[in-house]
Copies of this chain bind each other. A is one copy, B any other.
Amino acid sequence: MKAYIPNLSVDCVVFGFDHERLNVMLTKRELLDPITKDVIFIDYTVLGHHVLEGEPIDDAASRVLKHRTGLDHIYLEQFYTFGGLDRMSNEKDQMWTKLKYPMISDHVISVGYYSLVDSFEVKPDDKHENTQWFPVDDLPALGFDHKEMIERALEFLQRKLRREPIGFELLPEKFTISQMQKLYECVFGAKFDRRNFRKKVSQMKYVIPLDEKQKGVAHKPAQVFIFSKDVYYRTKKEKLDFSV
């Protein structure tokens, strides 16, 4: 077991989509009085851990994800590094740190990553105790600066999704246009016109219809699509317009 770098951690904001809402995976943090065993506070944090000596930070982020969710080889991207002094300055965070990690510096820099998964692949009640999904627009009390961290991750995701087809990481392999539209609406917090959305999607050559329809739904079954990374990379070209 290698030693931790005392003032460097990674935090992963794991986004999941359940075809209704955009969710974030959070871990319960419960501080008990060491003597009376009373609950001092309960709140939640994103998944994080200290970086090990000699460990590349990207690997540290993968390690955290793997360890806390069992997931491997999923979309993971660094978005921002949080290094203010105030990030641990709440009273409860101070207590938590002193009681649980007395050897850790009170100035921890944290490299923020975000990750995209299909919510259905990670069940909230799995063996991963104390870890569950919360809708991004209805978050519980959060520890440290994790509220800001989630907001920033979401902005980053929005900007990225405007430029690149990463939304498919949040969808099952086979999906319908409606599911895709719902996803975009959740991420951007906006409504889109159904016909215009479909028009746009039909111009994306890398969203490919299958010879397959939805089954078991009480309405006209929808066409099923897959995303082809391959076609995407072969057909993409840079746009050079500048705006604002």
A109 contacts B162, CB within 8 Å? no
* Nearest-neighbor residue (CB-CB) of A60 within chain B: B83
Min CB gap A45→B, angstroms: 20
Is A80 an interface position by the 8 A CB rule? yes
Min CB gap A78→B, angstroms: 6
Bound Cα distance from A159 to B204, whole angstroms? 22
* Nearest-neighbor residue (CB-CB) of A106 within chain B: B54
Query: Which listed residue, B85, B111, B162, B244, touches A241 by the CB 8 Å rule?
Result: B162
Given A5-B7, A54-B85, A244 and B190 touching (CB < 8 A)?
no
Query: Which listed residue, B58, B111, B244, touches A84 by the CB 8 Å rule?
Result: B58
Chain A 74-107 per-residue mask, 1 if CB under 8 angstroms from chain B, else 0 = 0000101101110000000000000000000101
Known: A51-B109, A162-B241, A163-B243. 13 other contacts (CB 8 A): A5-B7, A8-B109, A53-B105, A55-B107, A57-B84, A58-B83, A58-B84, A78-B80, A81-B111, A161-B242, A163-B244, A188-B242, A190-B240
Please give the residue numbers on chain A whose beta carbons come within 8 Å of chain B beta carbons, in ascending order.
5, 7-8, 51, 53-58, 78, 80-81, 83-85, 105, 107, 109, 111, 159, 161-165, 184, 188, 190, 204, 236, 239-244
